[in-house]
Structure formats: structure tokens, C-alpha cells
Structure 1
Amino acid sequence: MTQRPFAEPFALFQRWFSEASAKEPEDPNAMALATVGPDGQPSLRMVLLKEADERGFTFYTNYESRKGQQILAHPKAALCLHWKSLRRQVRVEGAVEQVGAEEADAYFASRARTSQIGAWASQQSQPLTERLELERRVAAFTVKFGIGTVPRPPYWSGFRVVPERLEFWEDRPFRLHDRLVYHRDQEGWRTEKLYP
């Protein structure tokens, strides 16, 4: 990252993500998602990045899940993608918006049928008495939708984190790492380097 930074962060992200997709052995699109609960307690979990462009970073979930409820109540979040094989990470912070119904429908339709059924069967983040209860729900929704198209559940959709701050971190010898931060302002993006 010693070269001159890009004017905006998305070209650099796409370059890094492309390299991670080619070299990272497992889930290069896995990212940690941090949200905050009503009591101010942070909550963190892994989700999968499904799209990244100048609009932001998109993932999908059940809006009735813990993360869904937290985001709907407090629409701000932080993300971290870490690619150990490349010794790099990208941190994203920003407001969260819901994706449109048409975009959510298109992504849902692209999923495997078993994943579509799973979205109906799982009461995500709710207490589960026993595994058999979930398996019965999967069987019931498999019968319900037969061999036709599985519609998107009304409570299942996508969120997009619209970045206000992105940090690109790259491992360097002697723990003197490179840290480049992009800040969004009225003019566009400004950059700064940080001490490791």
C-alpha cells in the first residue's frame, strides 16, 4: 500500500477482494458484523458479503433475528473483513439502509432451494427446544412449496452498510503495519495514514 491511494475506496476494496477471492481458502466474503442493542451493548457475528460497490456493502438476513432487530432500531453498523492468507483486513463503519424489495427478490431467487426453504423454516435467533423441531419445520415448508417457486419471506431481506469510514490495514515487518483510512465528507473522500 505504499503507492498513491485511490481517490475513492471502492477501487482499492475491489482489488483486495479480487485477490482474496483468488487466494483465501475459505469464504473470502466472510465478515464480522457489529451492531448495538437497546442497552448499548455491542453484538458481533459473522455474515457473508453479497455485494460491494459504491453504494455500500450488502448482506442478507432475517429481519426478525437479533441483528435484524438491532439494526432496525439503531441503523448503524461496523464490518471487518480479515484475509489471513493475505495478511490484510478492511474495516467499514457507517449507516445502514434496507435494500429494495426487487433487489432482495432477485438475490433470494438466486439462492439454492434448500436455503430458500431454510429461510422460511428458521425462526432465527428464537429459542429452539430440540433439533427435531427445526427439521419438522423444514419438512413442512418443503411440502408447502412443493416443486414450484419459493417466494421470499416478508421478514427476510437485505441490509446495506453505507460507509462513512473505511480502513485498509496491511501487515508489514516488525509490526509496523500500513493503515490507510478513507473518510467521507461533503466533497467526497479524504484519506489519512495512521500509525500502526
Structure 2
Amino acid sequence: MASIKVAVLIGSLRKESFNRRLAYAVERLAPAELSFEHVRIDDLPLYNQEFDHDYPPVCQQLKQQIKAADALLFVTPEYNRSIPGVLKNAVDVASRPYGSNAFAGKPGAVIGTSVGTTGSAMAQQHLRNVLAYLDVVVLPQPEVFFKFSDGLIDEQGHISVESTQKFLQRFVDRYVAWLHKQL
């Protein structure tokens, strides 16, 4: 199979985001056939139905990036037991107006980490519900959510704990095999 282009949406805007580190770790563990493009979501206006008649250029660009991807990877923290607003807004922008959902039919995965003991489990479940409605076929297992601790994954995605590296490698291997079946 040719290269698989994966659009990565990270639900944290923080410069030292733990979830950006997780995304980089996944990329480091992935085979060369996967290419990852981080989709910018920090410059989007809040979705408003009035856009539907004259979509802002930055919103059109987001939709084009999603459409150009073969697959999706959502990497999300958990804010107040749900999806960060910036990520939900990006999903709303890329899926509207009705009938022009950029996500439809694409395979995706949802992973994440947070400093709380349940990682990002609740946020991921909420995001999975939204993605199901938007016709994104989400990898069911393995689920990847864990408590982030200092030094676990550095800014370049190097993983310091062997069991975490093995766990993430199992996810990556499963994701790649699953993408081959989906595409």
C-alpha cells in the first residue's frame, strides 16, 4: 500500500502539551508508510451557522486538510470530564454545513492522556460519540488513556518507561493493521 496520510488533531493548545508529546511518541513508533500532518485548530473562529453561506477561509482550509487525509488521529486531554472546547469547535467547523462533512467515512483513532487518574477516558468516550454521528469509523481497541507523569514522554516524543513504550507500540501496530483493512 502507498503512504497513508494521517491528519492529527490535538485537543490541547498548550505549548508543552502532554497530548502533543503523546502524538509525537505515536509518530516515532509508527512505520514510515504513515505520514502525519498536524492540523492547526487554534486559529479557528467559533462555529456559527451563519458561516454555512460564506465559510471563512481558515475554516475551508481545515476542511480541505481533513478531506485530503486518508485517516484521522485524535489526541485529546480531558477538561472537566469532557472534550476540550477547541477540539469540539474544530470538529463542528470541519463537519458543517450539513452535507459537507469532511470526516465522513474516514477511519480514525482516539487516544489521550491527562494528569488525572483516569487519563482522558471520559473525554474520549464523548468524542467517540460525536465521531460516530459524523460517520468516522473509530478503532475500537485498544483504548489508550493514562495518567501522565513528569518525564514519561519528552517534547520530542521519546518515552522513558518501557511498559508505556510497549503499550503504545501495541496501539500503533493495531492501528496500522486496522488502517490496512479500512483503506
| TM-score interval (norm. to shorter) | under 0.3
Higher relative contact order (CA 8 A, sep 6+): 2
The two structures have a TM-score, normalised by structure 1, of: 0.23
Q: Which has the higher strand share?
A: 1
The two structures have a TM-score, normalised by structure 2, of: 0.24
Bigger Cα Rg = 1
Q: Which has the higher helix share?
A: 2
